[in-house]
Amino acid sequence: MSVTLPSTANKMKWVSGPSNAPLPPMVRGLPLLGNVLDLADDVLAFMVKQYQTLGSVFRFKVLNETYTAIAGPEANLFFAREGNDHFRSKEFWEGMDEELGAKTTLISTDGEVHARLRQLEKAGYGKSVVEAHFPEVVALTQQTLAGWSVGTSRSVLSSIQDMVTEQLGTITVGRGPGDYVADIRTFVRTALLVRVTRQRPGFLLHLPAYRRAKARSHELGQKIIEQHRRNPPIDREPNLVDDALAAVARGEILVEDDLIPMALGPYIAGLDTASNTIAFALYALHLHPEVLARVRTEAAELFAAGPPTPDRLRKADVLHRALLETMRRYPIAPAVQRTVVKPFEFAGYRVDAGQRIFIGTTVAHFIPELHPDPYRFDIDRYLPPRNEHRVPGAFAPFSLGAHTCLGAGLAETQIMLTLATLLHFGRFEIDPPDYKLKVRASPTPAPDNRFKLRLVEKRV
């Protein structure tokens, strides 16, 4: 299939190296605060608006710090092809490493070390990990339904998060968080908000609730490591933690301090990502009963021939397209941040080294030339001849380049299987029926806590 970029994108060019071009235009903001409120409110809406107003490169202020942003399909292509040479992840993520007590983590390393670490973690985060555990994923989803009384409503996000972290822990490191789930949630969210996105003040890290959650999360990590040391992979497949223990033993990349962060990695990576996407999918599907009905039919077929298998799930085309459209329309990672390490010129403006930069990877999801009527939930975008997700730079829910989501295949499979199970064994309605979606980013975008589903019928 041949795909072409829209004409506007073809005209834009980037040039690597120092440049005398002018600095990108500055977004108007409030005195002292700059654009801090716009960003806190909705990063995605802010980036889309600036792209439409100022173009594919612009600057904005957050308090007294100036950031550059690039966005749109050409920015995505630049990021995918040249990101390794021009950007570094370290500064954005290193605060999280400090909270975890890690020396080296995948997300905050760059270059050669990152490539080696990614290779080391590839199998542990691979799609085959979830494919080997379909019965557990289905059972944990059914367990959530079993504990939910017909006729009652639940706030969707927290129920889904509990279930998803239990699934992820079970399949990747051999145990779910169980009673530790609230601690993981408090620890991860607070650390991200203070140390990574810097949307909350530092004193939160000193509050007893955070310190306790952090200590308990580390305790869980320690238990996972001990469990693996006691039970080495002799008659079972090695997992992420076994691979990390082996690397430490060989003296390769990782040291002892990196083990707990490695054990907690799947909880951290999945807590707000897979869960928020499932919550958005449930919202979108219940808003579009005709798509919901088709997904339910597919789910019934999936379960009709016995327990679902990876082969049969792969054929669930409507469900897959509903997931793609959820990730396009409601991206949970609207942008990524980096530090510029090598200057470049982009769309006629220069970007100097040393700056913090936002790459608005999902702004392209809302460009009508790439995705007509972009705010409409339309799962037929992914059918030929439209294939909107195949246009280079047009679709990037998992980011792009060296750090593109390592768990993408695992996440897609886990999300599809969980949605199929929920919708096959349960029937829901939005409560109240006139609920209007409010997206809350803390820091990852998700439907707010007022998004509730009432369980109308169940079969478990």
Q: Which stretches of the chain bind ligand HEM, using CB under 6 A?
A: 89, 106-107, 118, 125, 168, 266, 269-270, 273-274, 277, 332-333, 336, 397-399, 403, 405-407, 410-411
Determine the residue type at 59: R
From the CB of 347, what's the least distance to ligand HEM, in Å? Answer: 22
Closer Cβ to ligand HEM, 75 or 411, answer by number: 411
Closer Cβ to ligand HEM, 316 or 406, answer by number: 406
Closer Cβ to ligand HEM, 168 or 188, answer by number: 168
Residue 205 neighbours by CB distance under 10 Å: 16
Closer Cβ to ligand HEM, 269 or 455, answer by number: 269
In contact, 417 and 130? CB cutoff 8 Å: yes
Closer Cβ to ligand HEM, 44 or 336, answer by number: 336
Beta-strand pair 87-88/426-431:
unpaired
Closer Cβ to ligand HEM, 190 or 275, answer by number: 275
3-state secondary structure of 286: helix
From the CB of 332, what's the least distance to ligand HEM, in Å? Answer: 5
From the CB of 114, what's the least distance to ligand HEM, in Å? Answer: 6
The DSSP output letter for 288 is -
From the CB of 400, what's the least distance to ligand HEM, in Å? Answer: 8
Name the H helices within 147-288: 156-173, 181-191, 208-230, 240-250, 259-271, 274-287
> Which residue has its beta carbon closest to ligand HEM?
407
Helices (H) and strands (E) in the chain, counts: 17, 13
CA distances from 27 to 57, 62, 361 (A): 10, 11, 19
Contacts of 252 (CB under 8 A, 6+ apart): 116, 120
CA distances from 433 to 197, 267, 290 (A): 34, 32, 16
Nearest to 161 by CA among 459, 437, 449, 457: 449
From the CB of 101, what's the least distance to ligand HEM, in Å? Answer: 18
From the CB of 240, what's the least distance to ligand HEM, in Å? Answer: 9
